[in-house]
Amino acid sequence: MGWPCCRILTHFILASLSPRRQELIQLCGYPYEIKIVPVDENSIAYPDPVQNCIQTAQLKSNALANSLNAASGSGSLVIAADTIVAVDGQMLGKPRNRADAFDMLILLRGRSHEVHTGVSIIDLGSGQEVNGVHTAEVRMRSYSDNEIVDYVATGDPLDKAGAYAIQHPQFKPVEQLSGCFLGVMGLSICHLLQLLSLLDVPMAADLNSLSTAHQQYQCPLLAKIALKLG
């Protein structure tokens, strides 16, 4: 069975200020714009990280969709996401400060944890909503205290769940990954494409560009997409 080809899509409306998600969404091959409606993410108090990130993504997408005119949004999709790092039953969001970032990186060092990214999509024309979560298992390398200090000093960890960026060219914190590399960055485009197919959104992504974006990490979701298109 091939990819959907029967829907005409105007553009995406991304509910995120994250520069990483704005970079990644371009891999889908559709025009997009950024719109934000403030929400209280602390109002989502699910202790389960999977449910927590899905519900937070839904909170963002619904708030934005409700602020837009459905008629003028025909053919447009609202997309929102939320990422949570989980280890030992503890959920790690963005660090409060540099000391908090240091503590998070100490906690994760040399160990495995999960990165959950919830995604919520709303078709403004039909009102149809699709939600899902991508989970990756990540093992960190045994970086030194000095390496943590140097990395935290760059300020890079402060706006990232779990206080690290898998793609950081100097720190390179990850030793092993099972799942989608882009999901650990903040938005699995491979997972997003699967969800979009449920809304009959035609494939517009360039698989070569998508593969390159994974930086040589093997992605099982990308392999499935390639097989389906083939």
Rg (CA), the chain: 18
Rounded Cα–Cα distance for residues 170 and 161 (Å):
18
Q: How far is C-alpha 63 from the geometric centre of its chain's CA atoms? A: 18
- Residue 34 DSSP SS3: strand
CA-nearest of 219, 194, 192 to 4 is: 194
Which residue in 48, 82, 123, 156 is the catalytic one? 82
User: From residue 161, how far is each of 75, 85, 156, 203 by CA, in Å?
Assistant: 32, 6, 11, 29
Rounded Cα–Cα distance for residues 65 and 79 (Å):
9
SS3 content of the chain, % helix, strand, coil (to 5): 40, 20, 40
CA dihedral 103, 150, 53, 180 (to 10 degrees): -130
82 classed as catalytic: yes
Rounded Cα–Cα distance for residues 133 and 135 (Å):
6
Known catalytic residues are 82
